[in-house]
Structure 1
Amino acid sequence: MVIDFNNLKTNNLHSQTEFERKVIFFLEKWLDDSKTVAVQTSGSTGVPKVFEIEKDKMLNSAMMTCNFLHLKTGDIALLCLPTEYISGKMMIVRSFERKMKLIIAEPSLQPLKNLETEIDFCAMTPLQVENSVDKLHLVRNLIIGGASVSESLKKRISHLTTHIFETYGMSETLSHIALKQLAPQKEDYFTAFEHVTISTDERGCLKIFAPNVNGEILQTNDLVDVRNRNQFKFLGRIDHVINTGGAKIFPEELEALVKKEIPNEVVFMGAADELLGQKLILVIEGEESDEIIRTISNIPFEKNFHKPKKIIFTQQIPRTPNGKVSRIELYKKISDSL
């Protein structure tokens, strides 16, 4: 199904799949007289919840993204994300705001499998991108969200001419408020959109004021390095920080380092330890491998205490419905092995 928002006639839309039915249902809600729509959070950092979001603020968010990427009326976008979450809903709203044509593709690990024509804009999760690299030349602008982009994936896409961006945002900011280019140029810092103000609190955690999408100053638990008034580097979540023997470790930084050497998903965690307070644990997704263990032992960690005290292999790391690693569920899963 293709929806042409430059010539929208909802009575001509007929769903053939359950996903298409959900898209039409949201579109009907979007076009009714209510001022808000319901959005569900992913639950990656807590219990999933549903809250109402004002439509005009969703339009503001859509406009910021479309302006940043220079999208225009008549461009072709592709939706391949679930409409239960803000990520999928915002793809529809962006297409509506910019009067684009929207191709509806069933959310899957290979969303570009049947794509034969060039498109101007798409949003995907890292796992979807992993399985779509051979088709990315058909996409002019791609944003990746829902989870961090691994170092191995960054290497695989670095040669592409497609404009690929990693996103920074949350449900409360109506998807993202900043983008970081991964290809064809590689950037280390996120650039916040126009009308977005960033700062930090006394802990070094990011504060966001984006009045066009949220009237409140949003306090995050994300530790950042602020470069200037609209650029910042993500260091890690403060609630993920591991304190071992009085030294603080940012697991996301270590995960990025390890992922440069092995293709597996990895998660660093802290486990209770009488002497250290917390000891550093590395969980690796996949079959146990002596070769992987040797590779990790040869990684030049900056500090000696960055080396994991224990390595645990697991067949599957728990994830939320939109692909983010669930550290809470993972800790429960490996607790008997600690």
Structure 2
Amino acid sequence: MLIDFKNLNINKLSFHTEFEKKVKTFLEEWFSEKTEVSVQTSGSTGVPKIFDIEKQKMINSAVMTCNFLGLKEGDVGLLCLPVEYISGKMMIVRSIERKLKLRIVDPSLKPMEHLKEEIDFCAMTPLQVENSLDQLHLIKNLIIGGAAVSESLKNKILHMNLSNSNRIFETYGMSETLSHIGLKQLMPNQEDYFTVFENVTISLDDRGCLKIFAPNVNAEELQTNDLVDIKNEKQFKFLGRIDNVINSGGAKIFPEALEALVKKVLPNEAVFMGLPDESLGQKLILIIEGKESDEIKRKISEIPFEKNFHRPKEIIFINEIPRTPNGKINRLELYKCINP
């Protein structure tokens, strides 16, 4: 279905699928007298939580994104993310704020499978993008969030021969920042650092983790567990989560950096973890999604890891890596699978 937010009349719209009915429920909540809406976190790094957010702060967030991307009244957006989470809710709020026309499709791994029209703006997870490569030329502004964009996916995007009018960004944010507070361009230019929006201040704590002050969307300074390299007052590079850091024999290992290296040569999902080890403290292992393969093992053996201790002590193959409902790797569940 298509909702024109320039001429919105909820009562005249027909909501058929379960997902469309959830969109209707959110719209009714948004246009009610309540000043807040409820949002659920993904639970990728802990127990899922539900908390209330001021509508005005969501509008502020929407304005920052729409201004950054240059979205205007009448542009066509595509909603293909669950509306239980902030990512889906914010697609609707941006459409309301900028009076977009919003195409609604049920969330799936192939959200553009039946679409032929051009889309001005869309937000997807990396898995959705992976399954929509042949249709990316239809999207003028695509933001990718919910999980890090792998090197493998970046390479596939680069080889799509998209025009300079197709802009693709990786996002940085969380539920507490009302979706994202910064973007990093992947196409047509490849950037290494995220650039934060106006009125967003970044700094480091004594662990080297990112602190965010974005008063337009959250009155409190947010302390993350994300290890970053700050280039200047507006740009930073994500290194990894401090929760995921592996201490093996006294050496600190950032699994996200090693995963990016592996995904340059493997199409499979790959996750580095540390398992308890009497002599090392934690033993570095690599989990590969898919069937065991000597060819995959050979490719891994040829990867030029910077340090010898970056090479996994063991490779484990698993049929399916557990994920949260919005597509993020669920490292807690994965750890339980391999170390019950």
TM-score, length-scaled by structure 2: 0.98
Unaligned regions of 5+ residues in structure 2, if any? none
Counterparts of 1:160 and 1:54, CA distance in 2: 38
Structure 2: how far apart are the matches of 1:152 and 1:28?
41
Answer yes or no: is the 8 Å Cα contact 1:270–1:281 preserved in 2.
yes
Task: Show the counterpart of 2:77.
Answer: 77
Shift, 1:160, TM fit: 2.1
| 1:249 matched to 2:253 | yes
Q: Which residue of the partner structure matches residue 51 of structure 1?
A: 51
Q: Tell me what 1:126 maps to.
A: 126
Match of 1:254, as an amino acid?
L
What is the Cα deviation at residue 115 of structure 1? 1.1
The partner residue of 1:223 within 209, 220, 227 is 227
Q: Does 1:313 align with 2:317?
A: yes
- Aligned positions of 1:22-101 closer than 5 A: 22-101=22-101
- Distance in 2 between residues matched to 1:294 and 1:4, nearest whole Å: 53
Measured in 2, the distance between the counterparts of 1:68 and 1:266 equals 33
Aligned to 1:280: 284
The alpha carbon displacement at 1:46 in A equals 0.3
Residue by residue, what CA displacement relative to the aligned partner does 1:203-228 show, whole Å, maximum 9, x if unpaired?
A: 11000000000000000000000000
In structure 2, distance between residues paired with 1:65 and 1:82: 19
1:160 matched residue in structure 2: 162
Alpha-carbon separation, structure 1, partners of 2:27 and 2:6: 14
Residues 1:193 and 2:192 aligned together: no
Percent of residue pairs bearing the same amino acid type: 73
* Equivalent-residue separation in structure 1 for 2:293 and 2:83 (angstroms): 39
Partner of 1:51, secondary structure, is strand
Structure 2: which amino acid aligns with 1:196? V
Secondary structure at 2:339 match in 1: helix
Correspondence for 1:147? 147
State the Cα deviation string for residues 8-45 of structure 1 (Å, max 9, x = none).
11111111111111101100100010000000000000
Aligned twin of 1:6: 6
Aligned equivalent of 1:237: 241
Question: Equivalents in 1 of 2:84, 2:74: separation in Å?
Answer: 26
Counterpart check, 1:184 vs 2:188? yes
Task: Summarize the alignment of residues 258-277 of structure 1 with structure 2, pairs less than 5 Å apart.
Answer: 258-277=262-281
2:15 equivalent to 1:15: yes
3-state secondary structure, aligned to 1:111 = coil
Contact 1:13/1:24, CA 8 A, preserved across alignment: no
Secondary structure class of the residue paired with 2:283: strand
Aligned to 2:297: 293
Query: Within the alignment, does 1:204 sit opposite 2:227 as a pair?
Result: no
Question: Structure 1: 5+ residue runs without aligned partners?
Answer: none
Give me the whole-angstrom Cα distance separating, in 2, the residues matched to 1:51 and 1:160: 39
Distance 1:215 1:155 in 2: 38
Structure 2: distance between partners of 1:320 and 1:13? 31
Is this contact kept in 2: 1:125–1:323, CA < 8 A? yes
- Structure 2 CA distance for aligned equivalents of residues 96 and 16 of structure 1: 21
Contact 1:39–1:84 (Cα < 8 Å) also in 2? yes
SS of 1:254's partner is: helix
List 4+ stretches of structure 1 deviating above 6 A.
none
Q: TM-score, normalised by structure 1?
A: 0.99
Backbone CA RMSD of aligned residues: 0.7
Q: Which amino acid aligns with 1:111?
A: P
3-state SS of paired residue (2:91): helix
Tell which deviates more after alignment, 154-163 or 240-249: 154-163
Q: Distance in 2 between matches of 1:239 and 1:156?
A: 30
